Amino acid sequence: MTLAVRYVSARTLDTAPALSVPPGPGEVELAPAFVGICGTDLHIFHGDMDARVAAPAVLGHEMSGRVVRVGEGVEGWQPGDAVTVMPLRWDDTCPACHAGHQHICQHLDFIGIDSPGAMQQRWTVPAATLIRLPDTLPLDRAALVEPTAVAVHDVGRAAVREGEKVVVVGGGPVGILIALVARATGAEVRVVELSAHRRLLAEELGLTAWNPVDDDVPELVRQWTGEAGADVAFEVSGAAGGVETAVDVLGVRGRLCLVAIHPRPREVNLHRFFWRELTLVGARLYDRSDFEKAVTLVADGTIPVERLISEVVPLTQAPAAFEALEGGGDVMKILVDCSTDTDTGNTDDAQGVAV
């Protein structure tokens, strides 16, 4: 018997015993080491996704861990292999899949939302979802490969090029990762963020950060770009004001990449889209190449994800960690250590699970 963190109802999580599911044909059983809590997990916690999430539901999709057992027909994987999971299961029958866009399958199973996630001590998933990790990459850092893959996909969707001027509106974990990936692509980047704590972290990472309350961001962009405006803006804040800022900073034929989830319709200055021939691009999830590039960027230190980890808590303290994240600004990323539990004292070596 193992433990799992479950969503029970709005603002209610528990840690409960969960049966370990043996891997069937084409499946692999994993021992999750670290699982990150993301914004989508918080939406679930608030009860905003009850129409989609069937309680009790095991949460978590940002993870790292090791293979414990492999099912029939699985090749190339063995116990002890370090992995992360691309948590997508598509049907390969819908029009999106037929067009080659399996990551946004029209009947997508997002593992950790639509089906049981990683915040448990044993987790069985399709072998096809595994992404290999280098043995030199610490597993706590590897838990941030998934959000880094989001950033890689976003920067690719916006077609960011070397030398371009990029504004990232929203300096949370994904916003900072987008800024760092864009910088690694050769772009010049500015971050717009309300939280002083997050602006300080951005500055410590070598990024310039502006406060939208005290700073006239569109004017700063005009000065920075020699009146031209930004080439690309990423809207990562999820706020109406963030949308307005992202549109206002763009120059002629600029690209706005929408990353944040906006739960309600927003007013958008369409006249500016007409006047400057702007482009709006949506960005959702990732594909395998995004994950593989993210592994490289994290493993070689190009993206110093360890700077985003605010705290690591044992699995039994995960419910309290969700509440801590609601405060927002002073916390970036909290990881749940699934290799230990304070109730039983059971411990797996996060770097090498006994199998």
Q: What is the pLDDT of residues 30-72, one digit of tens each?
A: 999 999 999 999 999 999 999 999 999 999 999 999 999 999 9
> pLDDT band for position 348 (50/70/90)?
very low
Bridge pairing between strands 250-258 and 279-282:
parallel
Beta carbons of 27 and 83 less than 8 angstroms apart: no
pLDDT of residue 21: 87
pTM of the model: 0.94
pLDDT of residue 329: 67
Given 2, 40, 296, 340, the catalytic residue? 40
> pLDDT band for position 351 (50/70/90)?
very low
Query: 139-172: per-residue pLDDT in tens?
Result: 999 999 999 999 999 999 999 999 999 999 999 9
- Phi, psi (rounded to 5 degrees) for 147: -65, -30
> pLDDT band for position 136 (50/70/90)?
very high
Strand ranges for 259-300 from DSSP E: 279-282
Beta carbons of 108 and 90 less than 8 angstroms apart: yes
pLDDT of residue 355: 22
Residues in the chain: 355
- Nearest residue to 31 (alpha-carbon basis) of 351, 314, 339, 317: 339
Given 2, 12, 15, 43, the catalytic residue? 43
pLDDT of residue 349: 34
Percent of the chain with pLDDT over 70: 95
Query: 186-197: per-residue pLDDT in tens?
Result: 999 999 999 999
Query: 285-295: per-residue pLDDT in tens?
Result: 999 999 999 99
* Residues 233, 283: Cα–Cα separation, whole Å: 13
Read off the pLDDT of each residue in 2-11 and give the average, rounded to a whole number. Answer: 96
Read off the pLDDT of each residue in 217-243 and give the average, rounded to a whole number. Answer: 98
Query: What single-letter DSSP state applies at residue 261?
Result: -
* Cis amide prior to 25 (ω within 30 degrees): no
Active site residue 43: yes
pLDDT of residue 341: 54
Query: 88-130: per-residue pLDDT in tens?
Result: 999 999 999 999 999 999 999 999 999 999 999 999 999 999 9
Strand ranges for the chain from DSSP E: 2-9, 12-18, 27-36, 57-58, 62-70, 82-85, 88-89, 109-110, 123-126, 130-132, 165-169, 188-192, 208-210, 230-235, 250-258, 279-282, 309-314, 333-337
Active site residue 40: yes
Percent of the chain with pLDDT over 90: 91
